[in-house]
Structure 1
């Protein structure tokens, strides 16, 4: 919601609806989001459904990767799988330049593999995609999940990245 509020505040003249299509499933690895999987197909179906009555898909926020930090194989394979996911989502939605805002994780399994996933996220060079670094945001006592305050701050950071990098993608008068 912090993301939506920040985007809405950017353009108070835009009075139309601003929809978010949540598809998150906690504890999932990037391989579980491959084309053809239940998670991937559900995400694409929900995105398509969201525009049936005239809406437009304006971007994808991707915050995932902690579950890929438990093994070397998963961590080292993250970048290629994420690039494939972006390519597939854009193709399946017919949006070849769909803006992507990815979050670089801050926690997860093995600390060394968290860094491997973070490096993949921060170093990914995909057209019309940016990465927001969550490092430094406060974690709950479980050392895995962000505190409520950190989630609000991250939402504002995501909105700032989206507005800075992708406002030309939006229609005139509304982001």
Structure 2
């Protein structure tokens, strides 16, 4: 690419990063107006119960851009034992869009986490509570998730807050990211090493050396190097990192974001991967 042709691309990436900073600030600290937060998101009677926790991280396809269909499909309906850690770090009933107060610079829709959770609820004990911890922000590249960067530090802080409020265990990190790393060749080529570093840092900082990470293989990309990022995802060969491949799932008209139908399928695929992993280890949910 010629130097002059690269300049508009760099400006575009800078604009995306600036927009995402709004969400970074919201993630780093809970909103100061606790009364308004409580009014908008009433707390749940299960808020201080131990939970099986799932960290939702990545970019827009994890946050969800699937259309908010009416009526909502059953796997997106609220459930008394399904909670969400709001931006205020309070537990509230989980209802889509899960990232509405996290990924604030775009309109959020339906992602894979609700159908994932509903699939697990079918197999959990009748008194077990699931806690979803949204952290994804659209348009972000993997370097923005490195230790010391706002997104990474916010995700770790939210994970710790989720465990502290009522206790429980982190079942897995659900990771769907990489579309923005297909724009520049250097980003695509370095993706695998950065992802492995991210996993190692999360495990160290959360004191969970065997933390399960389920990454979603890209179904699309913003640039020409999607295949390179996908190959990097497939070649990550460290314990307790699984790949669920979204390639072939239907996309919206923008040919970047998964449709609602695709998000439903992906949620079930993620649940099956989680269940199979635990079954092979002989462990309980």
Question: Which interval holds the TM-score relative to the shorter structure?
Answer: over 0.9
TM-score (normalised: structure 1)? 0.93
CA contact (8 A) 2:175 2:216 kept: yes
SS at match of 2:143: helix
- What does residue range 84-99 of structure 1 map to in structure 2 within 5 Å? 84-99=197-212
RMSD: 1.4
CA contact (8 A) 1:58 1:169 kept: no
Task: Tell which has more relative contact order, 1 or 2 (C-alpha 8 A, sep 6+).
Answer: 1
* Structure 2 CA distance for partners of 1:169 and 1:54, relative to 1, 3 Å: farther
* Cα distance in 1 for residues equivalent to 2:280 and 2:205: 22
Q: Distance in 2 between matches of 1:95 and 1:169?
A: 16
Gaps in structure 2 of 5+ consecutive residues = 1-113
The match for 2:219 among 106, 120, 131 is 106
Residues 95-126 of structure 1 show CA distances to partners (whole Å, capped at 9, x for unaligned) of 00001100011111223x10000011112101
Which residue pairs with 2:185 in the alignment? 72
TM-aligned CA distance change 1:170 to 1:77, over 3 Å = same
2:175/2:213 contact within 8 Å kept? yes
- For residues 102 and 115 of structure 1, what CA distance do their matches in structure 2 show? 16
Q: Identify the residue that residue 245 of structure 2 maps to in structure 1.
A: 133
Higher helix share: 1
Q: Which residue of 1 aligns with 2:257?
A: 145
14-23 or 79-88, which moves further after superposition? 14-23
Q: Which runs of 5+ in 1 are unaligned?
A: none
Q: Where do 1:111-122 residues align within 5 Å?
A: 111=224, 113-122=225-234
Pairing 1:62–2:62 present: no
TM-score normalised according to structure 2 size = 0.58
Residue 32 of structure 1 contacts residue 39 of structure 1 at CA under 8 Å; is this kept in 2? yes
Task: Give runs of ≥4 in structure 1 deviating > 6 Å.
Answer: 168-171
- Given the alignment, which residue of 111, 128, 136 partners 1:16? 128
Larger relative strand fraction:
2
Choose from 156, 159, 164 the match for 2:271. 159
Greater gyration radius: 2
